[in-house]
Every structure is written in structure tokens, then in C-alpha cells.
Structure 1
């Protein structure tokens, strides 16, 4: 084999069929989707699943339709996708005659499954675009795929039902279909012009088909997220400046054709959803930019995307990605054979700089707004990553050990971040709705025959009632409650629409009013105020619930279950301490939170005495198990220190009496007695003998006081029959202090 072929093979891996890669990625993302159990952004549910639920099952299902949908700011294309999935899931549940609990689980899992497939498609086309730039089966292309798979942000966000996730998938697929050869430099374009008549008809047809698919996908992405147009304006401008006149005419023609077709489809879908003709992208720009309503949800510094956005997207990859952006944009010379690939890299780097620059002029910023740039960043950073670590992976030299350890550390950090934020951080909102759903099944569905069709009955049926005293949109809604007969209300946070600047500055939404003065809010906005609170749950009394939905202007009614963050617990104890509400469940939420109102566990109070007693018993059993395990460790430590006193260091003698973890062994009170006797009857007058006696006396006194049922088994501390005195070297003040401590024991 020629040397050039050998060199080529050294830079390539064994070819793998693209279909196998796609199937592997689908399986990988399905595991990813089912692993994510945390709360990220309310838009994951309220801008996709809530309207989708209404489309699929009707307007009487208790969905929470936010103000954006009431003012036609959102396109219905995204919810229509999940509405079709809901209908298909409900149909198969009916065909299989599944129980309502199994149907509820399928309805919760089906959107995640669909989004997992979309996420796998995004990963697959990221790999395809990298293969187009670096060569099929090249190590740089495979490195891009690996970087995408182990990215913490991809694991955390890509399988969520956010419109940004679908936007990212549409963007990377469209980038792979974009005619990059049109935007090559003038030398390549002149060559194309001179040889234009020699191009085959098949190649022109394929190019035109790819362009139409690209522009159609880009148009859908722009309808979903109007800010996505920034990417395509930048690429179209470069293509226009560098392409030939015939290519410009083709580009304009296809833009008009694909754009108008997509807008017509979107307009028909919005007419079906809203009931009248409207144009959501224009209203989105008007409300968020002209009226600056996005500022109501927070302001950020102008440098947010540089100092926070990119670090969150890239995590451990940022030392490789940021220098590559600079080098790619400043490199002028490139080999003629690699000119098209270099041109692609330059344009990808350009949009990675241009889009954050434009979005920085908008006051409200979020990292997910630049999420569509992440595939391009992975493609650009992969070669630098390979260049840095590849010698360490292929060489046996010990000189590369630091690099190997660095690579392992980076992979470990990525895995730890991905698992923590996907499983633990902010896991409470999903867990609490699982609890509410389980309580509804216990109290309501278990007393009647429930079929799949009856589980989507109207909301006026009696069921449990729930009130969420939380900042607005702190939990999912009907997409995770599932059962329409769960009557729930929550604090709202409608923005100041149609108000002047003075009124906007003084405006306080319902959630703000509650946290400003919980006492006044509960007195004025709850039926009966703080004087007339219910004593028994509605499912016991049989009373019809009047709990309102978030868009209702009526007062809130006291529910069967109150849900709030632990930060509010002292306030609630003070305000309704004489009511029948008591804690009946709680779940860990997060170790920290940037919003003080969302700190601590999520706590559920209820009116049912049986549930309260069951929860108290469960917590007592759990506390007793902890005490038992600690007691076992203490007994094990004491047993190991029992027997004849050997000449060991004073430190080991004392630490042996501390409850450090040790292998489990059965309790031996005889050992405890022997240890106590050996200490209290010792004739030793060493400086530390009195410390050991005091420590043992303190331990036995506390153990007898705290361990119920063991008083007769634990030996009591009594003065030694042998006389002993304090060491002569102890001064008077120290001796008095120690004697006082000993008497206190």
C-alpha cells in the first residue's frame, strides 16, 4: 500500500454505517430522557405541553394557558407536534385497555420519548456536518460526536420539551443542508462559473432539493423562535456577497417560495388553534421588544452571554472553544484543497459571535437563547481537543500522564455535573406532582371503576384540591397532574400589559403580593380569610370544590393540600398554627437556589388526619432507624475498646469511644459493662485517665437519657471505689473548669 494511503488510514477510524450511529444515538437519548427528573424552565411545560394538552383533550381539562397564548405570541406548530403524540398515546391506551395509572405514566413519558428522538437527530447531524468539514470517519468528526454525547448541557437540556431544543435540531439539520459551496471565495466561484455548463443535471437537482429542505427547516425554526433569523441573515449575507448572479437568483427564489409556504402552513395552524387569523412572530417582537415585557422576567448584564452563557453551554470545553473562535476568524490563508472546509468553519465561527452580539442588546437574556449555537461550537472545538489529547492516548510514554489524568478529570466533571443537575438539583417540582397524582389515585380513583376514557373527564368532577403557594410556574401543571378532576390553583404572575411606564414600575403581580405580605394576602385573597379554614378534606365531606384555575378572577379557596417551599414554613406555622393543616409529606428539592423564595425542601400540608399520622409515623420510623444505626456504630466502637487496658496512646483510647463508622456487629452490653468498669475502677493516675472517665460518664449519661427501653441494660455511672486525685500539674482555674464540666456530666 502506498505511503499516502497508510497516512490516510492512520487519520481515520473504521467506517461505521450512518444508520447504526443514528440508532445508537436514539437509544442513548432515550436513556437520557428517562433519566432527567429535574425542573429547569417553566417554558418546558407552559409553552408546549399545556397548549398541546388542550388541543388534544379539549378546553375543559384544567390546562394553564399563559398570557403569551392569550395574546398570540407563540406559534402553535410546536404544541401541535405534542398534541399529536398525546392523541396517539391516548388511542393506544384505549386500545390496550390500560388502567388510568398506566395511561398517566405513558402520557408523561411520551413527550420525553419524542424529544429524545429529536435530540438524537440533532447529535446525528452534528456528526454529519463535522464529517463534511473534517472528512468521513475522521477522528475530528468522531471527537465531535463524543463531545456532543458527554456534554453536560446536552444531557441536561436536549431532551426537554422546550422550543429551543426543537429550534436547535432544525438549525443543525439546516446547516448540514446549506449550500456552503455558494459562499466560497471568489476564486472557487469563478471556477464554478467557467465550468457551470459541465455540471451534471443530477447534481443541480440534488443541490436545489437540499436548498429547499434547508430553507424550509430554517423557516420553521424562525417561526418557532424569531431570534433564529439572526443566524440565517448572517449566512445569507455571506452567500449573497460571495456567490454568482445565477446562485443569487436561485437563493432569492427559494427563500420566497419556502418562506411563504411555511408562513401559510403556520397561519393555518394558528387559525385552527386561536380561532382567528393572527401572526405570532410579529406579535412576539412587538411585545418583547417594543413594549419590553421580557424585562418583567429579569434583566441581565450586557456581557451575560460571554461571562455566563458560553461557560454554561460549554463547561469544560470552554478552554478549547473560545481560542478556536478567535483563531478561525483571524486566519486568512488556507490550502486550496481545504478552502471550502475552511470557509464553513469561518462562517460557523461568525454566527457563534454574531448571534450573542445581537442578543446582548436585549435586556432579558437566557443561556437557552443561544442553544442553537452549541453544535457549531462542538464542531469547531473538537480538532483542538484531539490535537491536545490524541498523543496522550496513542503513546505509552509517561510524559503524557498529566494529560491523561486531565482528560479523565474533565470526563468525570462532565459526568458529575450532568447527573447532578439532571437527577438531584431542583428535583422537587416533579416529585411533588407525582405525590399529588398518587394521592388522587388513592382517595378518588380507588373508590370507583376508572377506565382510560373516564380519566379525561371534565374538571367539574369532584377530586382532591391543591393550592400552590409558590412563585408562579414553579411546577409543571396538567401535563404532570394528568387527571382533570385534580382541582388546583397557583399564584399567577401576569406581566403589566397596556400599562404606562409609571404603572409598570409600581406593578406587583399576585406572587409578588403574596411574598410581600403573606398575612394580608391570605386574609384578602382566600375564601374565609384566616378565620374560617376547613377542618376536613373535600373528598371526605363530599363538598363540591370551587378551587379556581390560574386565569380565573375569583378568590382562592382553601384546598385539601397546600404546597410551598420550606423557606415559607415558619411563616405558615405562624399564620395558620390553629388550623387543621399539618405536614403530610415533603421532598428534597435543591441544596441552593438563586431565588430566595424557592430555597429549601418542598413541603405539603394536608387536612386528612390519617395522612398526617401516617407521615408522622413514617418520619419517626426513619429517625429511629438512624438512631439505631448510630447506636450500632457506637456499640461496635465500644466493643473494640473493651477488655484489658493495654498501653495504647491516649488518642486512640478516646477516639475509640466516639461513634465513628465501623463494621457492623451484634450489640454486646457485657462489653459495654466491662469497658465502663475497666475505666471507673482503674488505679491509673495518668494525666488522661480522668478524661477517659469523664468521656465515658458523659456518653453513658446521654445514652441512658436518649435511648428508650435500654435504661435497665446500660450501666449507670458511679464514682470509683478507688480514690484518685487530679494531677498536680493542673492549675487552679483549669482544675475548677474541668471539675465543673465533670459535675455537669
Structure 2
């Protein structure tokens, strides 16, 4: 995969120091005019500006990743991090592998990325014998930091694409350019585009989450930036053949004249290939991108001689597409072979299950207008009016170096967005993140209208009567301030408050396990290493008390490390029913919530932390006509909680169910009455089960509103004593 960090820009020979060059009219006159670029600034200034922007965006998105404390959708964890956890730590690591992976519907490339990060970060920590508690904290935040890098790349290449569309020169210098703002005479389109991406509530909410859609978005906009747009833009030009103008145009229009342009094509094709493997619907985007080039092959539109630079461009494009496509397919096939244990092609399996069997509707069915009435408003929020305005009126800044190129590219991107939304609207199951890859494209199309609405260019006279200077002023500042504050408020609410308890409860459970089950060295109290110590110092042992943090355990470093590694890493099934001395082991925690309401092993971390949760596997084994009456495990619980608990739970060795009653139960407050009646045998104090009680030990508000009644109310943890 291509490194998301922006490629180095062509070096400019200069004896100048490393600090940025001053504005144009202060430049050293000994420098060549070729060093001055189209925005009037020295090339070194533009290079430094790009570096500063990348650094700012990287720090910004990493900061963003640490502030995302809420839950969005289960795929963030179960379609990426759980398979990655199993890849990194083995089948006995306690990862929850959902049904999609058993039916080979997902590409293994995405979880492999995070598995590599898990392994490469955890191994050094194991080698230097870091405490498992510290390792757990690092592993819990690691995936979001990795995704933050891709999110920063998405912002960066969206800005670079804006420069390609609207011209080099942006007032977005993080350090360098801000020193010279008073000298710049550029319009603010690129600045507004970058601010749109940085201040987007949806990007703040979703870009650092580990969805395949988030990675797809970063890969897509980066690939679009490196794509040879000159082939598509110029394909519509018709020049009379046999003229000197036609010959000159053919020579000048050879897109792949230098090696760098071919390398850029390869970057684009490789990134696009990965995006299509991860999300087959990404093919819709590249179909629209390639169509203008295909149309140019119609007889009479393009030259027929193979000596023409244009025709050779087509040959190079076809050659590189076959080469890069083959590389991606081979890598994907090998990765899937190693993960699934057999040769398979997940995109085909995905299409088979979602189209021929229509299993996606098991997780929801939406109206045909969903993307128009909900999807786009959620993606764009305060930008939506300007996006609508851009679809009816084309805005092209006066300083655009090539208005025809910009106009044609805007047309292609608009058609691309429309086709993808139209096609995805025909499927039954829809989610807003399905069209997430369109968001950077919509920013590119919307930025000029925002520029036009909030800025005004005025001509200011200079000392030279024959010349004037263009100044850009921000107008409607009050409205702009309100919109920015509204974006910030929405971003803060959705990432800090809305559905936050279902995330924080996993940290509480993990820390509870560390307090009760680990000694000062981070070793489980029931481990051989811990009992070695207790055997020699029995007076220090109290099985009912948490381990003392003041005892200096004398355990060999190698033994500590070996057991810690085993501990960091139950079965592929979330139910914890291992046998101890012939009896089912008592799980540490059970989740009586709608399925996949919380993260799993990526946050619980410890393999020894036995846990179970309610499942919701679709009726893959049933015929279409039999699926309507199917009730999964979570459905059965909420249909009749009391009956479910009586028939499917084992408490103190009593019962015929498959789930063993745990030490702690996590649930929404609405299930408290049913759980209490089941465990205590009636209301509190009456007919209690063997004198045991149910005690609340943790409660946190999850959200102010939610569309699922099963998830309403606080998240509560109960202890059974």
C-alpha cells in the first residue's frame, strides 16, 4: 500500500537557507524566474507550506482520534479489529469472529493492516517486559492512531486535489504562509476547502474510526489526486486532423512524457485497486472516472496512429492497469488464502450473499430516497445548502489558471457523485457511510460556492497608476462564525457525549479485571507464577481481597513475560464456557444488550477476561420464505427476558442453557427488573437465590435520545454477591 505521507516534492536547487523564502517582491533577484510558481511564490515556500499543512493535519487527526469516545456502528470493531486481534494473537485470544468471516465475505487486507500494527507494537513491549496494564492501554488506542494517519492523508490530498482543480496557491500555510498573509493576492478557495475538511463534523466523527469505509475514502481521494486527468479532460477536444495545430497538440498532449507521471498513474491504480477490494462498490467511482477516456476511443475522436503521444498514453494506461490490477489481486488472494485457509475471492462472495440471497436486509431496509433525505444531510450538515447551490451553478474563481480544465473536471466529479448515489439507492440496505468516499469530492465541488458567498474581491490602487492590487475580504462574518460554532458543537456532541457509556463501560470492566485478577506484576492471580509466590509466602494470600500493590513479587522475568503474553491474547465464539475441573468456568462479565452494542476484545484486551454477549447471526441456513419468523438470540431475550434467562442460563451449576451466569452483568437500565427477578427469585428481599444479591456498581448516561428502545437509558454494571 502506498505510504499515506505525501510524496516529496521536486527539489529546487537554491543556495537559500532552510527557512522559507520571503514574499515575491522580496525575493533574491539572483534566483531563476523558473523558481517562481504560478501563485507568485517561490517554490521553496510552497514546498514548506505543504510540509507544514501535512504536519498540522497529522497532529490534528491524532488529537481527533483521542477525543472520539462514542459508539457509532459495530463494523468499526467487528469487521476490522476483532479479526485483526485474532491474526495478531492467535485463535485463543478471545476475539469475536462474526458470521461474515466464516462465509468469507470480507477481504483480509483491512484487518491485516491492524494486525501488523498490533504485533509490531506489542512484541517490543513484551520484550522489555512492560506491565500488561500498560500494554492494554496502548493496544486499546493503537488502531485509531493508525487510522488517524489515513484520515490526515485524506485531508491533505483533498487539499492537493483542490490545488490541482483551482490552481496552485493557498492561504493555508500553517506556519510559513501565515507569516506573509498580507502579501498574498490569492483567492481563498483552497483555504475554504481545507477548512471544510478540518471543520466537518462528519470527518471529526468518522474519519479516525476503523471502518473500511474510512480507509476507502482516504484511498479514493489520494488515487483521484494521482490520476492523469489530462487524458479525460482533453479527450473531448476535437482538432482538425492533418493541420500543424493538430500535430503540435498531439505532441504537447502526451500525458506520460516523464517517469514521474507514470509513477503517479501507478500510485493511483494501486490505491484504487485496494479500495475496490475492500469495498466492491468503489468500482462505481472508477467506472465514472474511466468512462471519458473510453469514450475518446470512439472512431473519429482520437488519432489512430500508434506513433501519436495520445494513442501511446492509452497503451501505457492499459498496460499499467493490467500490471497494477494483477499485483493487487495476487496480494489479496495470498492474504485471503493465509487467513481463510483456502483460495477464495471475498468480493464475489459479498455480491453473492448481498444480491442473490439479499441477506443485508436482515440488518435493515431503507427507502429509495435515504441517501437524499438522510445520507447527504448527515455527511454535509451545514455545507448542504452550498452543495445544492453548486449543482445548479458552476463557480470558477477568476484566478483559475485553466478554466476549461476546471469546468470539465467539475462535470466529471458531479456525474460521478450522481451515478454512485443513484446506483446505491437501488439496494435495500443503506447506510450513510456507504457514500462516505464522496465527501471529499463534494468538498471540492462545494468550496467555490462557499468562497463566493463569504468573500469579496476588490481592486485596490497601488503607487503605480497603471496597476492595481486585488484584495480579498471576508463578508457575512456573523453567519460564518455561527456555522463554524455549530459544526464544532455537533462534532463535540457526537464524539464525546452521544452513546459514550457503551465505550467507557469496556474500560471500566477491563480495569475492574486488572484490579481483582492481576497482581502487582500484571500476572493473573490464578497463574502458576502467582501461585509460586503464594506457596512460599502463604500469609500474604487472601483469596477474597484484591492483590496488594505493595508486595515485591520475585518472579523470573522470562516466566513473567511468557505468561503475560498468553494472558494478553477463549475461542472464536464470544461465549466463555471453558471447563475447570469438569465444571464450566464462571465468566467475568456478561452483556445483556442488543448484539454488538459494545466493542469486544480490542477494548477488553485480556484473554483471561471471560465474557459472553447476545448474538444476532442472520438466518443464512434458512430459505427466503422461512426467514420472516426467525428470531436471533438478542430477539429472544427482548421478546421475553424472564423466559430467556430461565431457559438459556446456568446459575451455580443449575440450568440447561449454554451461557454460564457471570460475576458481573452489563446492560441498559431497562433490563434491571427482569434480571433482578431472575437472580433473586423475586423482588429484593423475597425469595432471594441462596441469599445472594444483585448490586449496582457502575452507571453512566449513554445518550439523551436514541431510535432503538432497547438501548434507551443508562448503561449499568451489576455485581452478583
Other-structure match for 2:220: 171
Other-structure match for 2:344: 278
- The answer to whether the aligner puts 1:316 opposite 2:382 as a matched pair is yes
Other-structure match for 2:446: 381
Per-residue deviation, 1:348: 1.2
Find 2:282's aligned residue among 213, 222, 228.
Answer: 228
Deviations 1:96-126 (A, max 9, x none): 4221111100101111111111110110000
With normalisation by structure 1, the TM-score equals: 0.73
Deviations 1:632-677 (A, max 9, x none): xxxxxxxxxxxxxxxxxxxxxxxxxxxxxxxxxxxxxxxxxxxxxx
- The answer to whether the aligner puts 1:404 opposite 2:485 as a matched pair is no
Deviations 1:32-65 (A, max 9, x none): 0001111111111101110001000100011100
5 Å matches for 1:256-267? Answer: 256-267=322-333
Name the one with the larger helix percent: 1
Rate the CA distance shift 1:8–1:173 in 2: closer, same or farther, 3 A.
closer
- The answer to whether the aligner puts 1:153 opposite 2:202 as a matched pair is yes
In structure 1, C-alpha distance between the alignment counterparts of 2:455 and 2:294, rounded to whole Å: 39
Deviations 1:691-744 (A, max 9, x none): xxxxxxxxxxxxxxxxxxxxxxxxxxxxxxxxxxxxxxxxxxxxxxxxxxxxxx
Find 1:46's aligned residue among 78, 84, 95.
Answer: 78
Rate the CA distance shift 1:599–1:164 in 2: closer, same or farther, 3 A.
same
With normalisation by structure 2, the TM-score equals: 0.75
- The answer to whether the aligner puts 1:593 opposite 2:659 as a matched pair is no
Secondary structure (helix, strand or coil) at the match of 2:113 reads helix
Other-structure match for 2:267: 213
In structure 1, C-alpha distance between the alignment counterparts of 2:338 and 2:412, rounded to whole Å: 39
Secondary structure (helix, strand or coil) at the match of 1:585 reads strand
Per-residue deviation, 1:181: 0.8
In structure 1, C-alpha distance between the alignment counterparts of 2:279 and 2:247, rounded to whole Å: 37
Secondary structure (helix, strand or coil) at the match of 2:612 reads strand
Find 1:326's aligned residue among 389, 392, 396.
Answer: 392
Rate the CA distance shift 1:196–1:554 in 2: closer, same or farther, 3 A.
farther
| Alignment check: 8 A CA contact 1:240 1:248 kept | no
In structure 2, C-alpha distance between the alignment counterparts of 1:201 and 1:518, rounded to whole Å: 67
5 Å matches for 1:429-468? Answer: 429-446=502-519, 450=523, 451=560, 453-457=562-566, 459=570, 465-468=588-591
Find 1:421's aligned residue among 487, 490, 494.
Answer: 494
| Alignment check: 8 A CA contact 1:182 1:242 kept | no
Relative to structure 2, which stretch is displaced further, 501-510 or 157-166? 501-510
Relative to structure 2, which stretch is displaced further, 460-469 or 103-112? 460-469
In structure 1, C-alpha distance between the alignment counterparts of 2:703 and 2:459, rounded to whole Å: 42
Per-residue deviation, 1:212: 1.8
| Alignment check: 8 A CA contact 2:498 2:704 kept | yes
Other-structure match for 1:631: none
| Alignment check: 8 A CA contact 1:189 1:242 kept | no
Find 2:363's aligned residue among 297, 308, 311.
Answer: 297
Deviations 1:537-569 (A, max 9, x none): xxxxxxxxxxxxxxxx97101000111111222
Deviations 1:563-605 (A, max 9, x none): 1111222333343343422211111111111111011111111
- The answer to whether the aligner puts 1:80 opposite 2:112 as a matched pair is yes
In structure 2, C-alpha distance between the alignment counterparts of 1:374 and 1:571, rounded to whole Å: 45
Find 2:424's aligned residue among 333, 353, 359.
Answer: 359
Rate the CA distance shift 1:210–1:299 in 2: closer, same or farther, 3 A.
same
Other-structure match for 1:238: 292
Other-structure match for 1:614: none
| Alignment check: 8 A CA contact 1:184 1:242 kept | no
Find 1:34's aligned residue among 66, 69, 85.
Answer: 66
Per-residue deviation, 1:264: 0.8
| Alignment check: 8 A CA contact 1:430 1:475 kept | yes
| Alignment check: 8 A CA contact 2:255 2:313 kept | no
Find 2:670's aligned residue among 553, 557, 567.
Answer: 567
Deviations 1:244-275 (A, max 9, x none): 44444333332222212211110000001111
Relative to structure 2, which stretch is displaced further, 213-222 or 334-343? 334-343
Root-mean-square deviation (CA, aligned residues, Å) is 3.0
Unaligned 5+ segments in structure 1 are 534-552, 609-745
Secondary structure (helix, strand or coil) at the match of 2:636 reads helix
Secondary structure (helix, strand or coil) at the match of 1:562 reads strand
Rate the CA distance shift 1:192–1:114 in 2: closer, same or farther, 3 A.
farther
| Alignment check: 8 A CA contact 2:235 2:292 kept | no
Deviations 1:316-341 (A, max 9, x none): 00010122123349x9xx99942112
Using CA pairs below 8 Å that are at least 6 residues apart, which structure has the higher relative contact order?
A: 2
5 Å matches for 1:83-162? Answer: 83-138=115-170, 139-162=188-211
| Alignment check: 8 A CA contact 1:122 1:173 kept | yes
In structure 2, C-alpha distance between the alignment counterparts of 1:182 and 1:193, rounded to whole Å: 17
Other-structure match for 1:698: none
In structure 2, C-alpha distance between the alignment counterparts of 1:464 and 1:528, rounded to whole Å: 11
Deviations 1:293-346 (A, max 9, x none): 1000001110000110000000100010122123349x9xx9994211211111
In structure 1, C-alpha distance between the alignment counterparts of 2:369 and 2:375, rounded to whole Å: 9
Secondary structure (helix, strand or coil) at the match of 1:506 reads coil
5 Å matches for 1:177-196? Answer: 177-186=226-235, 188=237, 190=239, 194-196=248-250
- The answer to whether the aligner puts 1:525 opposite 2:590 as a matched pair is no
| Alignment check: 8 A CA contact 1:468 1:490 kept | yes
Other-structure match for 1:251: 317
Residues matched between the structures, number: 578
Rate the CA distance shift 1:33–1:394 in 2: closer, same or farther, 3 A.
farther
Relative to structure 2, which stretch is displaced further, 252-261 or 112-121? 252-261
| Alignment check: 8 A CA contact 1:99 1:452 kept | no
